[in-house]
Amino acid sequence: MDIIIGAGMSGLSYAAFCGHKDYLILEQADKIGGYCKTTERNGFVWDYSGHFFHFKDKDIEQFVVSGIPAQDILTIHKNTQIRYKDRLIDYPFQMNIHQLPQQEFIDCIYDLFVNPTTSYTNFKEMLYAKFGKSIADKFLIPYNTKLYACDLNILDKDAMGRFFPYAEKAQIIRNFKAANNDTYNATFVYPKHGAVQYVDSMASHVNKEAIRLNNTITSIDPHAHLVTLHSGEKIQYDRLISTIPFPALMELTGEPANPSLSWNKVLVFNIGFDRQGLDTKNHWIYFPENKYCFYRVGFYSNILSANQCSLYVELGFAKDAKVQPEQWFDRVLQDLREACIISQDMQVIDYEAIVMNPAYVHVSADATEYVAAKKRSLANADIYTIGRYGSWTYCSIEDNIKEAKALATSLN
């Protein structure tokens, strides 16, 4: 029997693609979905955070959306900007420096072409080498420092892989006259009732009787192929497929914590207001300045064409920080007004706070090497770990589904 730990998109995908019914999915929460959960109440639709699928593989897309009514799926051409000082700059910043005040634009152009930094070994050095001091210092470094809540020197130079919006000098110059701000997620799809519709659609391919909710694993014995639950129940497995965070899996198998594995926490506020907000165009906005407590604000109301402002607001914290949402809510509202997202007279109808821990993993050379070595060792004991947190990487949900499918195909 296969035991699958976690009923998020990765775990459900493995079960859907494995080609047999001899599996058991253990989920510690009271609902399936992992971070792809949705709250729908008082006329608002909120996810645990912004989950927007950017499908590249048409077969995967068709499989995932097969259980969602076609009229519920919205295809959106992304519109995003950056709040920089007193203005909004189109995203990506490095492609739109011509929208800056003249002197700042000149500084960026000069540093882009007269750049003494040519080699790099980490993420921060890469930003200076690729884009010059001014572009890095004005947006790329402050924004990513707020997001990751760490010194960017600890991150691998390719920490964000294909998801980082690289741009060559010629592209930047061309963009001055012929704007092309498309990135990997230039368009995205979103169901009218939130990301949970993706989860429910994937779950329609899975044996519901094989999903056990409210089951926390307390230990894993790789040698005996045995899982112990919080109830004391012990379950034998032939293969174990884990989608939980890699450090948690190591702890369950008795491995000591490895200092190379680091991450951030993200505090998400989902907030619904009594009327439309001041921004009716953007799908999300980035905030590099420390004067704002959040690093990103997203607009469900603009995606869903709703007549009441509905936002998600994200704040980054170090992994060891004590995050108390009630201490931040008033500050969030104050900063939303300061940033011209909401007006003074807008009233909150409803809100919720969620702490994602882990949120973004810190991809470093040491962590990547450690995880790769441990994954090989675990595979020898019939334990396979997949997903963003299971593989300890930066990837899309589609990547998670494809990884789960590839593992299911290779094992079965």
From residue 107, how far is each of 86, 126, 129 by CA, in Å? 18, 19, 15
Residue 178: per-residue pLDDT: 84
Give tens-digit pLDDT for 60-113.
999 999 999 999 999 999 999 999 999 999 999 999 999 999 999 999 999 999
2-39+193-258+363-411 carries CATH number 3.50.50.60: yes
pLDDT at 339 over 70: yes
- Please say whether the beta carbons of 96 and 109 come within 8 A: no
Torsion of CA 236, 237, 241, 242, to 10 degrees: 10
pLDDT at 51 over 80: no
DSSP letter string over 325-341?
Answer: GGGTHHHHHHHHHHTTS
SS3 assignment for 348-370: EEEEEEEEECCCCECCCHHHHHH
pLDDT at 386 over 70: yes
pLDDT at 181 over 80: no
Of the pLDDT bands very low, low, confident and very high (cuts 50, 70, 90), residue 212 is: very high
Rounded CA gap, 276 and 282, in Å?
13
Buried b (16+ CB within 10 A) or exposed e, 194-225: bbbbbbbbbbeebeeebbeeebebeebebeeb
DSSP element (H, E) containing 317: strand 310-318
Of the pLDDT bands very low, low, confident and very high (cuts 50, 70, 90), residue 185 is: low
Domain boundaries, the chain: 2-39+193-258+363-411, 80-174, 264-356
Q: What is the mean pLDDT of the chain?
A: 95
Count of Cβ atoms closer than 10 Å to residue 137 Cβ: 17
Helix axes 196-203, 9-17, angle to 10 degrees: 20
Mean pLDDT computed over 352-375: 97
- What is the architecture, at CATH level 2, of domain 264-356? Alpha-Beta Complex (3.90)
Rounded CA gap, 381 and 247, in Å?
17
Rounded CA gap, 298 and 316, in Å?
15
Torsion of CA 143, 144, 145, 148, to 10 degrees: 130
Tokens standing for residue 10: 């990765």
Residue 159: per-residue pLDDT: 96
Strand, helix or coil for residue 401: helix
Residue 320: per-residue pLDDT: 96
Tokens standing for residue 67: 């259980």
Mean pLDDT computed over 173-195: 84
- Please say whether the beta carbons of 396 and 52 come within 8 A: no
The dihedral through the CA atoms of 244, 67, 78, 272 has a sign that is negative
pLDDT at 50 over 80: no
113 burial via Cβ count (<10 Å: 0-12, 13-18, 19+): exposed
Q: How far apart are the first and last CA of the chain?
A: 12
Give tens-digit pLDDT for 132-163.
999 999 999 999 999 999 999 999 999 999 88
Residue 163: per-residue pLDDT: 87
- Provide, rounded to the nearest whole percent, the portion of the chain with pLDDT above 90: 92
Of the pLDDT bands very low, low, confident and very high (cuts 50, 70, 90), residue 272 is: very high
- Please say whether the beta carbons of 266 and 36 come within 8 A: no
Residue 184: per-residue pLDDT: 60
80-174 carries CATH number 1.10.3110: yes
Type of residue numbered 269: F
